[in-house]
């Protein structure tokens, strides 16, 4: 199974965290105001974006032939 065809590990982890957090909010396990939900979603999306930026910075640049 190739994870890159499904978006990569970072993307799948972000979607998984969002799904679990949504389920917990739906079941009433998180605070009713939704501040924990928004904090987790913003945090995981922020880490996803930061990971992509770091990956782009570390990736070797293609040199023209």
pLDDT in tens, the chain (65 residues): 777 777 788 888 889 999 999 999 999 999 999 899 999 999 999 998 998 898 888 887 766 66
Please state whether the predicted TM-score (pTM) of the whole model is above 0.75. Answer: no
Residue 48 near residue 16, CB atoms below 8 Å = no
CA-based nearest residue to 46, from 7, 18, 6 = 18
């Amino acid at each position: 199974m190739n994870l890159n065809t499904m978006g990569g590990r970072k993307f799948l982890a972000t979607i998984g965290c969002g799904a679990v957090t949504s389920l917990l909010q739906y079941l009433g396990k998180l605070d009713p105001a939704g501040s924990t939900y928004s904090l987790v979603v913003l945090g995981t999306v922020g880490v996803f974006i930061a990971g992509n930026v770091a990956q782009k910075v570390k990736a070797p640049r293609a040199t023209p032939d």
